[in-house]
Chain A
């Protein structure tokens, strides 16, 4: 399972104001994102990592 802190860092280019604790988003600009959004971004990040792996 990819840590959500890493996922949102990648997805939003490490913008200020994003925090997680024990795998739960505790601070996020304009409110905590929905679980559906988090799942979607996690999948996107997994696909990105796969692409990176294939290219290497």
Chain B
């Protein structure tokens, strides 16, 4: 492999592009560092990455929903990915990521009850925009007298800088009426027993 060496602490290379010589990757060998002197002189895909910003929270959006809702559409609990036609849509939350490479941490908390008298499976799933397949899902088993608190976290690359909407749907595996934020169609605790979606954008 050809090698160019420059001697001296003040050696300087001026060029408009650096690219791999035998491949598409430019590697900084172990023990070496690329130092950028100014805090705002590194950009990724046109967006400035400021010193100390990596891993930091860029924005947090949240919806707290204390409304009581009911629905009857079932959600199969089997070895298939939940679809956006299954179960009942309970909450939505939009976010506009600032950088497509950033990470999104999505935390879901939902209060669920169902009239099914048997201890049957109930599914709760997270969807994005009009994509049919769920991004994440949770299943639990409970009888009608139990109000379940469902919670799960999904972590993903944002993948876009356009507004994108996340949706939570839930349903029972058997026919019946699901109640959100209450029991048997009625609200509990005057609206403060609220379910939520919280999305945290994390710089990478």
Docked pose: A15 CA to B174 CA in angstroms: 11
Chain A 1-54 residues near chain B, CB threshold 8 A: 2-9, 13-23, 27
CB distance from B176 to the nearest CB of A (A): 5
Kindly identify which residue among B67, B68, B74, B176 contacts A9, using a CB–CB cutoff of 8 Å. Answer: B176
State whether B185 touches A14 (Cβ < 8 A). Answer: no
Contact among A3, A13, A16, A21 with B73 in the assembled complex (CB-CB below 8 Å): A16
- Cβ of B68 and Cβ of A14 under 8 Å apart? no
| Distance of A7 Cα from B185 Cα, bound (Å) | 9
Q: Which residues of chain B have C-beta atoms less than 8 A from A16's C-beta? A: 72-74
Closest chain B CB from A27 CB (angstroms): 8
Bound form: Cα–Cα A22–B179 in Å? 11
Total number of A residues with any Cβ neighbor in B under 8 Å: 20
Instruction: Check A5/B179 contact, CB under 8 A, given A14-B115, A21-B69.
Output: yes
B177 at interface (Cβ–Cβ under 8 A)? yes
Given contacts A14-B175, A14-B177, A19-B88, contact A5 B70 (CB under 8 A): yes
Cross-interface CB contact of B177 among A6, A21, A23, A27, cutoff 8 Å = A6
Could you tell me if A17 and B184 are in contact, using CB atoms closer than 8 angstroms?
Answer: no
In angstroms, Cα B74 to Cα A5, docked, is 15
Q: A19-B88, A21-B67 are in contact. Are A9 and B73 (CB under 8 A)?
A: no
A22→B187 CA distance, assembly (Å): 8
Q: Are B176 and A14 in contact (CB under 8 A)?
A: yes
Q: How far is the CA of A4 from the CA of B70 in the complex (A)?
A: 9
With CB as the reference atom, state the residue of chain B lying closest to A14: B175
Q: Are A13 and B67 in contact (CB under 8 A)?
A: no
Check: B145 CB closer than 8 A to any chain A CB.
no
Instruction: Identify B186's interface contact among A3, A18, A21, CB under 8 A.
Output: A3
In the complex, which residues of chain A have a beta carbon less than 8 angstroms from the beta carbon of B67? 21-22
Q: Which residues of A contact B (CB under 8 A)?
A: 2-9, 13-23, 27
Binding site for A on B (CB under 8 A): 67-74, 88, 115, 175-177, 179, 184-186
- Write 14 A-B pairs (CB below 8 A) sorted by A numbering: A3-B70, A3-B184, A4-B185, A6-B185, A9-B177, A9-B185, A14-B175, A16-B74, A17-B72, A18-B71, A19-B71, A21-B67, A22-B68, A23-B68
